[in-house]
């Protein structure tokens, strides 16, 4: 039998149910690196991920429109906001599900706006070691997309954050998140209760919203299992739980856009992080296939 990879599902067809678009944004990172290389490395690694999941006897077959990359590689987040928002909005209008591949976490704010809905109708779930609630006095950056979105008018009650790590945030960020009404699920809760319980609780808290955006910041994964992320810490989310979360959330019909952020190929001399990112694509496609 011939080998079929998820790269073979990528087409130039705007009628495909799913779209993938790259946003190689790096400027404005708290820790400068080469997250701008991630979309290219991800596409290359997808050639090594099969379309067949033997656990569920599932053959992935849904075509994915590869919309290319947005021209933001040399832009600051403030300059990249409109191009990313508009490109994501165009994909979201044509496709059932859009995969936005960063780039650093500053792509999340324009991505949320790309839903094209009033923020009161939008829900945000983040899988992240960090609150992303740094101050905005120096403008948008990869460390403050959640605070930027709150300032844009996204209600805190429309946000849930999963996998937050100890010794990777500040008391002020934690207090501000709780005061805003954000659902906070720290890594100890996830490890004790299970990733499914955290996701189920988050979806229940967000049952009032019309559309969901999910930010998969890859630094939520334990650093021993994912070296290619500047913000990853020891003791993070097991990579298997990251994959389970991707599949479960992509199964939710209200999820319209997912992003993958903070993958820096320059930090990983092996292909481990690239293969992890590519497996994430497969899990998203598998979750979407469950929608029936």
User: Residues 83-94: pLDDT tens digits?
Assistant: 999 999 999 999
Output the pLDDT for position 1. 65
In CATH, what number is assigned to the domain containing residue 241?
Answer: 3.40.800.10
Output the pLDDT for position 190. 98
Compute φ and ψ for 58, nearest 5 degrees: -110, 125
Residue at 1 is within a domain: no
Half-sphere exposure of 11 (CA within 13 A, CB side): 11
Q: Which two tokens stand for residue 42?
A: 């991800």
Residue at 160 is within a domain: yes
Beta strand residue intervals within 103-196, DSSP E: 122-127, 159-164, 183-186
Output the pLDDT for position 271. 94
Domain count, the chain: 1
Residue at 128 is within a domain: yes
Output the pLDDT for position 292. 74
Residue at 222 is within a domain: yes
Flag residues of the chain having pLDDT under 50. none
The whole-angstrom separation of Cα 15 and Cα 64 is 9
The whole-angstrom separation of Cα 250 and Cα 118 is 22
In sequence order, which residues have a C-beta less than 8 Å from that of residue 46 and are 6 or more positions away?
5, 6, 7, 10, 278, 281
Residue at 152 is within a domain: yes
The whole-angstrom separation of Cα 273 and Cα 282 is 14
Output the pLDDT for position 105. 97
**pLDDT tens per residue across span 148-203:** 999 999 999 999 999 999 999 999 999 999 999 999 999 999 999 999 999 999 99
Domain that holds residue 46: 6-289
The whole-angstrom separation of Cα 52 and Cα 49 is 9
Output the pLDDT for position 30. 86
């Amino acid at each position: 039998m011939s080998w079929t990879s998820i790269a073979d599902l990528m087409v130039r067809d705007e009628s495909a149910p799913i779209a993938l678009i790259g946003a190689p944004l790096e400027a404005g990172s708290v820790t400068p690196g080469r997250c701008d290389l991630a979309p290219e490395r991800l596409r290359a690694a997808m050639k090594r991920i099969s379309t067949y999941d033997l656990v569920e006897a599932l053959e992935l077959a849904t075509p994915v429109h590869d919309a290319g990359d947005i021209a933001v590689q040399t832009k600051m987040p403030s300059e990249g906001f409109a191009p990313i928002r508009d490109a994501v909005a165009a994909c979201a209008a044509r496709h059932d599900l859009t995969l936005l591949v960063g780039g650093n976490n500053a792509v999340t704010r324009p991505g949320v706006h790309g839903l094209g809905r009033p923020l009161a109708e939008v829900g945000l779930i983040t899988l992240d070691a960090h609150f992303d609630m740094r101050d905005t006095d120096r403008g948008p950056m990869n460390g403050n997309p959640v605070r930027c979105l709150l300032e844009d008018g996204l209600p805190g009650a429309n946000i849930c954050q999963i996998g937050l790590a100890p010794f990777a945030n500040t008391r002020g960020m934690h207090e501000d998140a709780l005061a805003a009404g954000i659902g906070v699920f720290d890594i100890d809760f996830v490890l004790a209760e299970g990733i499914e319980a955290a996701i189920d609780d988050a979806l229940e808290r967000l049952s009032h919203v019309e559309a969901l955006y999910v930010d998969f910041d890859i630094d939520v994964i334990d650093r021993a299992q994912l070296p290619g992320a500047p913000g990853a810490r020891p003791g993070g989310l097991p990579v298997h739980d990251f994959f389970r979360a991707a599949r479960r959330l992509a199964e939710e019909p209200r999820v319209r856009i997912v992003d993958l952020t903070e993958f820096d190929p320059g930090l990983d001399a092996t292909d481990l992080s690239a293969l992890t990112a590519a497996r994430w694509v497969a899990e998203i496609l598998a979750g979407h296939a469950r929608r029936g």
